[in-house]
Amino acid sequence: MTAAAALAGLGTAVGGAAPADAAPALSSPARASGGLAHPGMLHTQADFDRMKTEVKAGTAPYKAGYAVLAANPHAQSTWKPNPLARVVRGGGTNVGTLYHDVHAAYQNALRWKVTGVSAHADAARDILNAWSAKLTALDGNADRFIAAGLHGYQFANAAEIMRGYPGFDLARFRTMLVDVFYRQSSDFLAHHNGAYVTNYWGSWDLLSVACVLATGILCDDRDKVDEAVTYFKSGKGNGSVKNLIPHILPGGLGQWVEVGRDQGHPTLGVGLAGAIAEMAWNQGIDLYGYDDNRLLKGFEYVAKWNLGHDVPYIPQTWNYGAPGVWSGSRTLTAASADSRGARRPIWESIYNHYVNRRGLNAPYVSEYARKVRPEGGGGNYGEGGGFDQLGFGTLAFTRPKAIVSPGTPVPSQGATTDSGTTTATGRPANPTSGGTRAQGDRGDDLAATGAGAVAAVAATGVLAIAGGVIALRRRGASDRG
């Protein structure tokens, strides 16, 4: 079998001792009897209360963030669902029908929480119910795993917002989510479509982890939550955090596994990792700070390169193929300029966690967040890759700065190089103020945000991804997967 033929069967690849992570019960989300918190995915009730209050008051940047949401065609209460029994991605596709409705459900649900207008809740409920009543299969080539992961975790987030709303059939939606989306994502993490575990880059693993985690939360299934968290920490594939960020470099930077490939995929991965970390955080699990803030170092690396700055790069070999079928390798020797400067609505949640919630420095993440503010969502960034993330982070994740006590221990942002040299670079962003401290590396004060001014921002309109679409896959023979 030729390499090209083997790839056609396998699909192509997206990409190639820790601090305590469990924290005391959160004060915001209501906890189910199984110990999971609701609402407790990307947003908690405290988040919704903050959005509603600040939008009503016309506070910047919430006002601009909500304006982008309200203007999106998917966020209109007149949206009508178009459910399918069978969705296909790869080898023929109708997946756009699914993701347009997924984003319409999420955006209407979010508008309802901010405005209290029941027409938006009715629209979101009707979309969710229509799909759970009809969808039974998600097919295609290996790209079906992409659809399962991305749109499974997104759909689950819409359903989590609508939990308890009159007429929403949560039980039926849970069944659909498990049977159609979760099973494929879980199988991918276990078997990687029969390929070598290194064949698929980090983004494939991350979108699958996101779906497994969101399914566990929606279904009050602690085993599924543990499955996702365990894979993120110690899985064999490129989306496990130490494989996702294999090299810690000077200057508080962590080399992202796909940066040598292009920039569409690393920024996709940043958005997925941020979503996973936020969902876990709202369940009392700190993946943001896991392994001495490894994610932050990776986020800073991707942001720095895509903002136009130089970054160090350690050559990386990608091994691809499938046992008994074919195999090969390719060595990446420098950070790629392909799609450099990619714009996705992914930075606000990351910035607001590290800088405002935890009081840490994240200079390049902060700069990127300013650059794309106010963030839009599906429908604001073109077709295809423009629906890879739910977005609207300026509205949803802006929060007051945490008050950090002098001398508060925080996870180090120092960088240990591969040779073992440590460079201390990180400090609390506000080390002289008193009051509530941001969480350190011991799992305490998980949701402490304190009180303080929200940084003023300029609302300058939503910027489109270059070219309208960032493809989730590259099909050229020189960059398989």
The tens digit of pLDDT for each residue in 150-160 reads: 999 999 999 99
Q: How confident is the model at residue 402 (pLDDT cuts 50, 70, 90)?
A: confident
pLDDT for residue 305 is more than 60 = yes
Q: Which helix (H) or strand (E) holds 268?
A: helix 264-281
Distance CA 247, CA 243 (A): 9
Q: Quote the pLDDT of residue 404.
A: 62
pLDDT for residue 302 is more than 50 = yes
The tens digit of pLDDT for each residue in 318-355 reads: 999 999 999 999 999 999 999 999 999 999 999 999 99
Residues paired with residue 125 on neighbouring β-strands, in sequence order:
none
pLDDT for residue 267 is more than 50 = yes
pLDDT for residue 469 is more than 80 = no
Q: How confident is the model at residue 384 (pLDDT cuts 50, 70, 90)?
A: confident
Q: Quote the pLDDT of residue 464.
A: 26
pLDDT for residue 162 is more than 50 = yes
- Average pLDDT of span 169-174: 98
Q: Phi, psi at residue 50, to the nearest 5°?
A: -65, -45
pLDDT for residue 52 is more than 90 = yes
Q: Which residue has the tokens 């543990």?
A: 226
DSSP annotation of 195: S
Closest by CA position to 422, among listed 290, 296, 249:
249
Q: How confident is the model at residue 34 (pLDDT cuts 50, 70, 90)?
A: low
pLDDT for residue 124 is more than 50 = yes
Residues paired with residue 30 on neighbouring β-strands, in sequence order:
38
pLDDT for residue 10 is more than 70 = no
pLDDT for residue 46 is more than 80 = yes
Q: Quote the pLDDT of residue 479.
A: 32
What is the average pLDDT value for the chain, to the nearest integer? 82
Pair of tokens at residue 60:
């910047």
Distance CA 267, CA 343 (A): 8
**Do residues 416 and 291 make contact, with C-beta atoms less than 8 angstroms apart?**
no
Q: Quote the pLDDT of residue 32.
A: 52
Q: What is the DSSP string of 417-465?
A: -TTS-EE----BSSTT--SSPPP-TTS-STT-----PPPP-----PPPP
Low-confidence winner among 133-137, 219-223, 274-278, 468-472 (lowest mean pLDDT): 468-472
pLDDT for residue 478 is more than 90 = no
Q: How confident is the model at residue 195 (pLDDT cuts 50, 70, 90)?
A: very high
Q: Quote the pLDDT of residue 403.
A: 72
- Average pLDDT of span 394-423: 57
**Do residues 80 and 90 make contact, with C-beta atoms less than 8 angstroms apart?**
no
Q: Which residue has the tokens 């690393």?
A: 266
Q: Quote the pLDDT of residue 91.
A: 87
Q: Regarding predicted confidence, which is higher, 19 or 97? A: 97
High-pLDDT (> 90) share of the chain, %: 74
Q: How confident is the model at residue 428 (pLDDT cuts 50, 70, 90)?
A: very low
**Do residues 149 and 98 make contact, with C-beta atoms less than 8 angstroms apart?**
no
Q: How confident is the model at residue 405 (pLDDT cuts 50, 70, 90)?
A: low
CB neighbour list of residue 386: distance below 8 Å, 6 or more residues apart: 378, 379, 380, 464, 465, 468, 469, 470
- Average pLDDT of span 56-73: 98
Q: Quote the pLDDT of residue 420.
A: 32
Taking residue 3's Cβ as centre, other Cβ atoms within 10 Å add up to 15
